[in-house]
Structure 1
Amino acid sequence: MEEKDVPARRAYDASGRRAAAEQRRLHVAEVAARLFAEHGWNGTTLALVAEEAGVSVELLTKTFGSKAGLFMAAFRTLGFGHRGGLQSAFADLRLADEPDLDARLDRFVEFVTATVVRMGPLVWVLGHGAEQDPVLRELVRGAHQGHAVMCAEVVHLLAAGEAAPDAVDEVYLLTRSETYLTLAQHRGWTPERYAAWLRRSLRTAIDGPPAGR
């Protein structure tokens, strides 16, 4: 019996479904960021986010795991957009590929300033939530550890010579959202003034004070 040609079965392409799921996840995180900023930790429920985002509560728990997971996704999305968390956003700067030390510093200062300004509306919510929710508290502890790792890499990339002894800890303090908010809310600083101060302070923190001081 003569065999007939059978059309090859087209391989299933899941890329479109993954892209749609990622877009939906980003949309939900953006909606959650707005609601957490408006209503705080206690006033923002999974049901409220689901209703505003046009999804089910079941999808929220499946995607984010818990209210704490949803908040951290919202927090990262507010600060870094589609780039994910701090580590991936920092890697996107590609500081190691920039040969000029001052240009590296400028790029990092711009990154930090933009991030802390965007994250500002949720910083107070983060503190309140971490006091009440042990899951969020653990997630925040992990985020702090990731921030410290980034600061160590920054010191390595921005040091003109041997870094000052406390460089990593000082860079950590300088680049916290709370530091920006203290200056902005209590002292009326603009993002531009913060950026100029941050640049000067980072250089001193990493390399130490100029000789003779």
Structure 2
Amino acid sequence: MMDKVKGREGTAPAPRSYDASRRRQAAEASRQTVIERARQLLLTQGFGGTTVAEVAAASGVSSETIYKTFGGKAGLVRAIQQQSLLGSKHSAAEQRSEWAQETAEDPLTLMHHFGQLAAEVSPLVVPINLLIRDAAVTGDSAMAELLQEIEEARHNRMLRNAQHLLERGFLRADVSAEQAADVMFACTAPELFETLVMKRGWTAEQFGTFVASTLAANLS
């Protein structure tokens, strides 16, 4: 019996490899749309006044999709907060901070860079942090847990930064790493940006300059 002809050259055609890149891109685009719409609604209506259904309708997805992707409204707020920390540039703000700490030739240059990052990131992350704080104060347990997690993570970042300053010889002899971390923790507190920028009308650039000069005066 003759063998069955398999393809034009007598061999079975190779199976097509499944290209999932477009699907991943579409999913990420949808995720970003949800985050953007949710941010707008949350900052306009507040945490308690915004529902998952409203976010879904504004984003063109189902509520089920939001629960599946983010785990609900609390998870959505977490995702917005984490994305805000990345800053507005092509590379993540934390990566640029680490690079500056490795390459800065003197403490004043590094403090200036810290101030620039504060001016960039604070307008994005502070409104969300304040939203979380206010929701926690009103008794939302998920937001209270998230607030504690955010504050602990922020302090740990400042402690790592301070330790790096100490290792590079950028701290004054009378300032410990723990004290330096506390100073940086205070300068990155949402309430400071809220007071100077949101209440007193400073620009983000003025705020960044203030942070840089405060760090320089107290640490170097």
| Local SS of the residue matching 1:5 | coil
Please state if 1:183 is matched with 2:196.
yes
- Using the TM superposition, name which of 92-101 and 68-77 deviates more: 92-101
User: Aligned-pair distance for 1:143?
Assistant: 1.6
TM-score, length-normalised on structure 2?
A: 0.81
- Using the TM superposition, name which of 67-76 and 39-48 deviates more: 67-76
Report what 2:75 is aligned to.
Answer: 69
| Local SS of the residue matching 2:48 | helix
Q: Deviations over 1:13-49 (max 9, x none)?
A: 2222222211211111111011011101111110111
Q: Distance in 2 between matches of 1:174 and 1:197?
A: 9
Report what 2:140 is aligned to.
Answer: 133
| Local SS of the residue matching 2:86 | helix
The percent of aligned pairs where both chains have the same amino acid is 29
Q: Distance in 1 between matches of 2:101 and 2:161?
A: 10
Q: Distance in 2 between matches of 1:125 and 1:164?
A: 34
Q: Deviations over 1:134-163 (max 9, x none)?
A: 222222222222211211222234451457
Equivalent residue runs for 1:22-61 within 5 Å? 22-61=28-67
2:95 to 79, 91, 94: 91
Structure 1 moving runs of 4+ over 4 Å = none
CA contact (8 A) 1:47 1:57 kept: yes
User: Aligned-pair distance for 1:76?
Assistant: 3.1
| Local SS of the residue matching 2:15 | coil
Report what 2:120 is aligned to.
Answer: 114
Q: Which runs of 5+ in 2 are unaligned?
A: none
CA contact (8 A) 1:27 1:53 kept: yes
CA contact (8 A) 1:104 1:158 kept: no
CA contact (8 A) 1:151 1:171 kept: yes
Q: Distance in 1 between matches of 2:18 and 2:96?
A: 31
Q: What do you get for the CA RMSD once the two structures are aligned?
A: 2.4
TM-score, length-normalised on structure 1?
A: 0.83
| Paired positions, count | 203
Report what 1:148 is aligned to.
Answer: 155
User: Aligned-pair distance for 1:97?
Assistant: 4.0
CA contact (8 A) 2:112 2:209 kept: no
Equivalent AA in structure 1 for residue 191 of structure 2: E
User: Aligned-pair distance for 1:59?
Assistant: 0.3
2:26 to 20, 27, 30: 20
More helix per residue: 1 or 2? 1
Q: Distance in 1 between matches of 2:154 and 2:174?
A: 18
Q: Distance in 2 between matches of 1:99 and 1:195?
A: 18
Q: Which runs of 5+ in 1 are unaligned?
A: 208-213
